[in-house]
Amino acid sequence: MSSATSADHHQVLIAGGGTAGLTLAARLRRAGVTDIAVLEPSGRHFYQPLWTLVGGGRAAQRDTVRPQAQVMPKGVTWIRDAAAGADPGAQTVTTESGRVLHYGYLVLASGIQLDFGRLPGLAETLGQRGVSSNYRYDLAPRTWEFIRDLRSGTALFTMPPGPVKCAGAPQKIAYLAADWWRSQGVLDRIRVILVLPTAVMFSQPDWARVLTGIAAGYGIEVRTESEVPEVDGDGKRAVIADHKAGTKEDIPYDVMHVTPPQSAPDWIKASPLADPASPFGYAQADKHTLRHPAWPNVFALGDAANLPTSKTGAAVRKQAPVVAANLIAAMRGGQAASYDGYTSCPLVTARNRMLLAEFNYGLERTPSLPIIDTLKPRRDMYLLKRYGLPALYWHGMLKGRA
């Protein structure tokens, strides 16, 4: 085999230019690492946490996107291509265009794959006949249109089994919608159903209790241990399978917000880097060091990593400095850093109120601001979600400063 050209070899190759990839790249550049490449096909960069507010009529779609070239850290090589396969033994990543990239260290930051096609009948009706999803940039405005125009009928909000990014998002849009309908005086004419695969409203018990009360306050029917396995878009009907009771119910709907099944990108699933313990193909990583146990020059963070914590941008904010420190320690020697599983879920409960759930691997509360009662829906927390966190993201995280 011929040796790789310098253009095809990088000391650090980051697969993925989303939140995790760019946050890490910026931190490594600030630490003095000079040969970094980010493999990312998209020309646009999205701040996805605002998509829930777009779907709820509280934010503009244009506020969630910037050109990728504008946010790429200075001094980082942007390879505008997509990963198609990885050979950790050869220390290579193959791209969709057929290019073979060699690396000294590989970081898996490829995010999550939205598997709309795994739900029969869904793909054909997305964006039409009342069906939408805030998990796609182009569909979030349609969610708001459907919610805004509904005056009576049935509204269905779904969450699939398995890990999803921002596990609170499927129910946040239900609260935003219910609050809007209440403000319009039509909530009592709308049947709101929230379908959850879990036995409880939320993984952390303190916030689970609060959210149970909030859902009840809106009159939302919460179907736990349930899922929607198929959709009839033409007939505007969906099947709700109750796994606890072992029953199926055919429900007519007028509006449905769907959270799609999600998994690791196919190329990670098919690679030796996938965790054999993950049925969804996420990358294997030590939950504290974020290093691959079989391939010590490979790290993973963000949604692509199989970690026992929620997949959120706030988790990335804590994971990135750990990966940066451990990667640099692998290069130069030094003390390794440890990640405690911190994650945060800003739970919007109304059009101007929010809870901030922060916890670690042990589901222990880890508040950033202990003097504030974040178990109570607060307006200042909503303002943090709408304005503070986006500013922190664009000007802090992506610059390697926060």
Q: Is the pLDDT confidence value at 77 over 60?
A: yes
Q: Are residues 131 and 227 in the same domain?
A: yes
Q: pLDDT digits over 202-226, tens only?
A: 989 999 999 999 999 999 999 999 9
Domain assignment of residue 322, yes or no? yes
Q: Check residue 73 and report its DSSP letter.
A: P
Total domains in the fold of the chain: 2
Q: Is the pLDDT confidence value at 371 over 90?
A: no
Owning domain of residue 289: 6-58+65-112+264-340
CB 327 within 8 A of CB 105: yes
Catalytic annotation, pick one of 139, 166, 300, 315: 166
Domain assignment of residue 355, yes or no? no
Q: Check residue 130 and report its DSSP letter.
A: T
From residue 93, give the alpha-carbon distance in Å to each of 108, 120, 209: 11, 33, 45
pLDDT bin (cut points 50, 70, 90) of residue 167 is confident
pLDDT of residue 370: 83
Q: pLDDT digits over 291-332, tens only?
A: 999 999 999 999 999 999 999 999 999 999 999 999 999 998
Overall average pLDDT of the 145-166 stretch: 96
The 10 Å CB-count burial string (b at 16+, else e) for 304-313 is: bbbbebbbbb
Q: Is 166 a catalytic residue?
A: yes
Q: Is the pLDDT confidence value at 2 over 50?
A: no
pLDDT of residue 372: 87
Q: Dig out the tokens for 147 from the structure.
A: 């919610």
Q: Is the pLDDT confidence value at 198 over 50?
A: yes
pLDDT bin (cut points 50, 70, 90) of residue 1 is very low
C-alpha triplet 114, 162, 317: angle, nearest 5°: 70
Q: Are residues 89 and 204 in the same domain?
A: no
Q: Are residues 120 and 220 in the same domain?
A: yes
Output the average pLDDT for the chain. 95
Domain assignment of residue 24, yes or no? yes
Domain assignment of residue 193, yes or no? yes
Q: What percent of the chain has pLDDT over 70?
A: 98
Q: Are residues 196 and 319 in the same domain?
A: no
| Higher-pLDDT residue of 374, 70 | 70
Q: Are residues 99 and 141 in the same domain?
A: no
- The answer to which of 120-124, 125-129, 241-245, 326-330 has the lowest mean pLDDT is 120-124
- The answer to which of 2-16, 85-99, 139-153 has the lowest mean pLDDT is 2-16
pLDDT of residue 7: 65
CB 5 within 8 A of CB 67: no
Q: Check residue 217 and report its DSSP letter.
A: H
Using the 3D structure, point to which of 220, 235, 262 is the last residue of a domain.
Answer: 262
Sign of torsion, CA 19 25 28 32? negative
Using the 3D structure, point to which of 340, 366, 395 is the last residue of a domain.
Answer: 340
CATH classification at residue 85:
3.50.50.60
Q: Are residues 131 and 209 in the same domain?
A: yes
Domain assignment of residue 367, yes or no? no
Q: Are residues 34 and 52 in the same domain?
A: yes
Overall average pLDDT of the 119-126 stretch: 91
Overall average pLDDT of the 130-151 stretch: 97
Domain assignment of residue 395, yes or no? no
Domain assignment of residue 375, yes or no? no
Q: Are residues 187 and 268 in the same domain?
A: no
Q: Are residues 81 and 209 in the same domain?
A: no
Q: Are residues 160 and 258 in the same domain?
A: yes
Q: Is the pLDDT confidence value at 42 over 80?
A: yes
Q: Is 345 a catalytic residue?
A: yes
Overall average pLDDT of the 116-134 stretch: 93
Q: Are residues 45 and 158 in the same domain?
A: no
Question: Which residues make Cβ contacts (< 8 Å) with residue 106, sequence separation at least 6?
Answer: 12, 13, 15, 86, 88, 91, 93, 295, 297, 298, 299
Give the separation between CA 221 and CA 290, rounded to whole angstroms: 39
pLDDT of residue 6: 55
Domain assignment of residue 348, yes or no? no
Using the 3D structure, point to which of 310, 325, 340 is the last residue of a domain.
Answer: 340
Catalytic annotation, pick one of 178, 345, 348, 381: 345
Q: Are residues 25 and 103 in the same domain?
A: yes
| Higher-pLDDT residue of 334, 259 | 259
Which H or E run contains 212? Answer: helix 205-218
